[in-house]
Structure formats: C-alpha cells, structure tokens
Amino acid sequence: MATTSYSPDRLRSEQQPVSGIVSALRGLYLLLVLLFAGAVIMQVFFAGATLLADARYLMDHRSLGIAMGPLPLLIVIISLFARLPRRIVGFSILLFVLYAMQYVMLYLFPALGLPAAFRALHAVNALVMFGTALHLVKSIRQVLLSKARAE
C-alpha cells in the first residue's frame, strides 16, 4: 500500500475542513493584503509627487504611512486565526517587520549618526514590501483556490 506524505502545512491548510469563519478570515486576509499593496503604490505616488511636483505631497505621504500602520499587524493576527500555512504566516510577519523598518531607516539611522544616504533604503524597502505583499496575494489565492477545488 503506497502512502503519501504531506507536510504539516499542507495538512493543516488543505486537508482539514475549515469553518465559515475561517473562510471569511481568509477572504479578509486577502482584502487587507491587497489594501496594503495599494497603499504602498499610493505612497510611491506621493513620494514622487513630492519630488517632482509639489513638496506639499510629503504630508500626504506621511499621513498615509501612519494610517496604514495597523494593516501589517492585522495581517499577522488574521493569518494566525485564518489557520494559514506557516509560510504565509512567516511572510506576514516579514511584512510587519519591513513596515517597522521604514521608521528605523528614517529616524533611527540618523540618530545613530549613519550617513544620510542610508535613509534612501526607505525607498528600497518599500519595493521589498510591495513584492512581499504581491507574494502574499499569490499565496493566499492558491490557498483559496485549492480549497474551492476540494469542495
């Protein structure tokens, strides 16, 4: 008799039935990650508008950056309650850390006496956050689609 071995993540997310609440949380998770990715795009727009059009856009950039602050934490919390695979939870935590690093690069780097050029990593980190958010969108869609096929 042939046996098939499944990783614990696969067993947890694909083989076990999920309740309606877990399904709803997974949908909410996808929505929040898409919202976060959209907010990053808007942040890039405001940063570009600040540099190329009018410096007053910097206030919009800062305000949106602060307003999107709860999203990474909510994404992590919901990833846990939605019983998502560990890999997705790990990337959710990474997204939270990357968001926190935005403030480290802007405020802690100068306080440590690092050259001002190190603050430019703030923009590079935004690209990494956007890529991570897109990866999470792709990953949660696979979970949702595999669940739909199983039913």
Q: What pLDDT, in 10s, does the model give residues 4-18?
A: 454 555 445 445 667
Positive or negative: CA dihedral 133, 135, 141, 147: negative
pLDDT of 30? 98
Q: Which amino acid is at 93?
A: I
Region for residue 84 given its phi and psi (left: phi exceeds 0; alpha: psi -120 to 50; beta: otherwise): beta
In angstroms, rounded to a whole number, what is the distance separating the alpha carbons of residues 64 and 43?
Answer: 7
First to last CA, the chain: 26
pLDDT tens for each residue of 103-146: 999 999 999 999 999 999 999 999 999 999 999 999 999 999 98
